[in-house]
Structure 1
Amino acid sequence: MMLSDLCKRVHGKLLGADVSIQAISTDTRTIKKGDVFLALRGESFDGHEFVKSAQDKGAAAVVVDNELALPLPQLVVKDTLTALGQAGALNRESSNSTVIAITGSSGKTSVKGMLQSILSGAGETLATEGNFNNHIGVPITLLRINEQHRYSVIEAGTGGKGEIAYLVDLIQPQVALVNNVSLAHGLGFGSEQAIAEEKSEIYKNADIGVVNLMDKHTNIFMERLVDKKIFAYSKVDESASHKDSAKKLNISQSALILASNLFCNTKGGYRFVLSYGEQSVPVELSVPGLHSVDNALAAAACAVATGLNLECVAKGLSGFSGVRGRMQTVASAAVAQLIDDTYNANPASMRAAIDFLASQATPVLVVGDMGELGEAEIQEHRKLGEYAKNKGIQQMFAVGPLSLHAVNAFGEGGKWFETQDAMKAFLARAKIEAASVLVKGSRYTHMENIIKYLQQLKGAEKC
């Protein structure tokens, strides 16, 4: 892609020589010689202040929103964020990679990791790194697609109406998935139905839609999938409810990817039989929790939609060891078992974590606040405390103003802290050496600090 190609796309003004765009950087701390520097503006930063630094570090050209006195070629555009998006779209359009787009309220990062593990067995696979799933991260990911990538797995997130529609126009996926919908962004939407409608936009440009039959919003998804090829997935229960759901939605039984004969081992990991049509294979997951079966089904269905067989799927799923901060058992001398689930949190993912923890010996839940819940934030934290108590969690320790409501609802065995330092001081004295401790909270709460503390804390130091 040439700088002039982007100029035409965004109706900009090219000053100086045309250059080939090998890579675009928005951060002078990581820019490499030959990159094109794109200056973004935000509420608290202005990339234009770092253009001279980009020049000094060997930038080949710059993309800016006003003409600057520089010897470098520069593309002047109305809005640099729009230019970044269109640069990503241009690179994606020039690629032959099979692109899969994933969104959902919880678990999408794990689904992405599982799918990457599966697809990597069949060819070079690119996947979104970390939480690069917004209007900046998605274009940056799309710009990383090259001719070696047989598959590209792109995660899309949203914090407000219209974001998924914008992102999917850039991604242009062949296969798309909404893995589930729950009240994860109440602040931006107000209701689960509104969230489902927003998430369903992921299907609009896709050739193939993958649908979770276990989600109560499938009717909304199906409205976006008229005249498209559909694959669906479900766990199989005794009532065979998946058959009724598929029939009601007019989805062929031959398009179903199913998990049956589920068995949970002592570490909380599941094995099951994965079926599609006449094929069936055993699968054993190394990541714990029943929700991991749902994530595995979602990844499997996406892989099948790209044409892979179940043997490839099973191998990839069995080889998936998890995502950092997502239900990862980490070493600690202070407790019997320490589970790091601090990547993020919403009501659905909290319940999934509690379900797993309840199956472990001496379960202790350590939580921070859940964010972006809007008017439901107090009610959802109360529900969290009640759910943990009803599931048999023995003790609940919480930090943050909203989590006070969770502790109050939990009752006996619950303890609240105003700060993490206060929580750490308590944990140093707490009698939890024999406990299974799970730590979780929304990203902004930085509950990974508690994980690090418990890893550093030695049993002998406790008094």
Structure 2
Amino acid sequence: MKPTLADLARRLNAPLSGADAGFSRVISDTRQLQPGDLFVALVGERFDGHDYLDEARQRGAVGALVSRAIDVALPQVLVGDTLAGLQDYARSWRGDYAHPVVAVTGSNGKTTTKQLLAAVLAARGPVLATEGNLNNHIGVPLTLARLRDDYATAVIEMGANHLHEIEALAAIAQPQIGIVTQAGDAHLEGFGSRDGVARGKGELFAAIARQPQGIAIINADDVYAPLWSALAGGAQQIRFGLSAAADVSADEIQSYAIDDGRNGMRFTLSLPNGEAEVSLPLPGRHNVLNALAAAAAGYALGLSADVIAAGLAQVQAPSGRVAWKRIAPNARLIDDSYNANPTSLAAGLQLLAALPGERWAVLGGMAELGATAESLHVEAGRSARALGLDRLYVTGAMSPHYAAGFGEGTRVFATHAELIAALRADIAACASPLTLLVKGSRSARMELVVHGVVQAPQDGVDGGVH
């Protein structure tokens, strides 16, 4: 599999102007371009990639996929729609890849599960895995375009906030193995209800059912397991979870200290053909379930329990997802700021509540919850109170609803800067062992709070975060 401009043009039945050349990666953002890349001139409501063709040339691009010819000294493949062209190329290129493709989706845990999958499946050889959160109609084809024969497995993360989006991504990626981590109250504005979420995620299993040797990896503990099993049809089905219905399960689960205040989980991994002791360097029972999903894929691809356990022990938490940071001799911060929905927030609060010492939750709002947004924030506040958390700090438009649920003692802040200043002062005044959980949707930008608390005051964060 050696990509060239001529091969791209052939697959898309499109003309190539300029000389043929091989390319290494397919990139849609000139800021990420490296010499030898192909540039895709995508067009959106607020941008037009064609305006950056000369910049792409200057950065070393060997060619461009365009929907109109541009007078730039750069070979160009001309198509009617560059996004459709990118997707069609990725589908065709994927068709030439002879090794297993594993797709993972779900309301929560898909990025962590992707990381776990990559760690486990590395035992089979090099793994191509989705970088960051490139999990949509652009990111999935960009990832598939990186497929090469020397990758023994590809792990493709898929995200969606409407029905039929996973269906479209699966048609491009053509996975033989599909995993749905779980269905929760995420993207309710687009899906309409949790039932809609479950059906949207289940589109992956419907695609797996159409594969000649498809394997559906189903969360046995999820209430929607029967729906997903029906959608998977005649495909082989492997169930993971903590219930008796699971084929891949965990026993004797316990938390353990790693170093510098970080916690992990130890458990006995049980497969249909063996057991192994696992030391997972990620905290929380929810991550045990993510690990079981990855283990089920490893089992499906012929790996032993011992090999899977060794892979799970090597994983690192993705940035902003339950990452532990030491912020004072007596204080640590759990950075789970990357995103939030009611299910993932509940898991985070339960993780925090199980820890010793003072426990403070620092929360931004949860987005895309539609008409249920206010009540779900009230419920989250009530849960924090019921779990016995010592303090709740909140910011953003949903703050009054968190406060209504948590009640007396909620501290509400209008800006990130005010929240950071208060946290710094309160942390300095706290003599007890202390753990903070920072979490919120992407739009809440709670990573700014993490940065502001972790960095020293002289770094000038106080006046620059809004």
Taking structure 1 as the reference length, what is the TM-score of the superposition?
0.91
Q: Does 1:184 align with 2:183?
A: no
Corresponding residue SS for 1:169: helix
Q: Which moved more, 1:297-306 or 1:63-72?
A: 63-72
Q: Equivalents in 2 of 1:432, 1:83: separation in Å? A: 57
2:278 is aligned with what amino acid? Answer: V
Identity of aligned residues (%): 36
Question: In structure 2, what is the equivalent of residue 253 of structure 1?
Answer: none
Question: In 2 relative to 1, CA 264–29 (structure 1 residues): closer, same or farther, beyond 3 Å?
Answer: closer
Say which is worse superposed, 181-190 or 53-62, in terms of deviation. Answer: 53-62
Partners of 1:339 and 1:160 in 2: CA distance: 30
Q: Deviations over 1:210-247 (max 9, x none)?
A: 000011111221122111111111114xxxxx24xx7x
CA distance in 2, matches of 1:202, 1:24: 25
The equivalent of 1:239 in structure 2 is: none
2:298, 2:324 → 1: CA distance?
27
Residue number among 268, 273, 296 corresponding to 1:301 in the alignment: 296
* Alpha carbons of structure 1 residues 204 and 17: separation in structure 2 relative to 1, 3 Å: farther
| Aligned 1:411-426 pairs, distance under 5 A | 411-426=407-422
Partner Cα separation in structure 1 for residue 74 and residue 313 of structure 2: 50
- What letter matches 2:423 in structure 1? L
Cα distance in 1, alignment partners of residues 316 and 25 from structure 2: 31
Paired with 1:337 and 1:147, the residues of 2 have a C-alpha distance of: 44
User: Is 1:402–2:398 an aligned residue pair?
Assistant: yes
Offset of 1:152 from its aligned partner?
A: 1.1
Query: 1:143-192 deviations in whole A, cap 9, x for unaligned?
Result: 12212210111100012222111111111111100010001111111101
1:220 is the counterpart of 2:227: yes
Residue in 2 aligned with 1:315? 310
Partner of residue 261 from structure 1, selected from 252, 263, 271: 252
1:377 pairs, out of 366, 373, 376, with 373
Q: Flag the 1:6–1:220 CA change in 2: closer, same or farther, 3 A.
A: farther
Deviation at 1:270?
A: 2.3
The aligned residue for residue 389 of structure 1 is: 385
Question: Residues 282 and 314 of structure 1 are in contact (CA less than 8 Å); yes or no, is this contact kept in structure 2?
Answer: yes
Aligned to 2:463: none
* Partner residue in 2 for 1:352: 347
Pairwise CA distance, 1:4: 4.2
- For structure 2, list consecutive stretches of 5 or more residues without a partner in the other structure: 209-213, 458-466
Where 1:114 maps in the other structure, the secondary structure is: helix
Please state how far the C-alpha of 1:453 moved relative to its aligned partner. Answer: 1.7
- State which drifts further: 347-356 or 12-21: 12-21
Give the aligned residue type for 1:224.
L
Q: 1:342 aligns with which of 337, 350, 357?
A: 337
How do residues 21-36 of structure 1 correspond to structure 2 at under 5 angstroms? 21-36=23-38
The question of whether the paired residues in 1 share the 8 Å contact of 2:391 and 2:410 is answered with yes
The alignment of Structure 1 onto Structure 2 pairs a total of residues equal to 443
Deviations 1:263-318, CA, capped at 9 Å, x for gaps: 23366532211111241111122211111111111111111111111111111112
Take 2:236 and 2:174, find their aligned partners in 1: how far apart are those partners?
Answer: 16
Q: Deviations over 1:390-411 (max 9, x none)?
A: 1111100001001321122101
Corresponding residue number in structure 2 for 1:447 = 446
Change (3 A) 1:19 1:352: same
CA pair 392-366 structure 1, distance change in 2 beyond 3 A: same
Q: Is the 8 A contact 1:184 1:347 kept in 2?
A: yes
C-alpha distance in 1, partners of 2:217/2:326?
Answer: 37
d(CA) in 1 for partners of 2:314, 2:68:
50
**Aligned residue type for 2:127:** T
Contact 1:6/1:86, CA 8 A, preserved across alignment? no
Q: Aligned-pair distance for 1:18?
A: 4.1
**DSSP-derived class of the 2:136 partner:** coil
RMSD value, Cα: 1.9
SS of residue paired to 2:131: coil
Task: Determine helix, strand or coil for the equivalent of 1:265.
Answer: strand
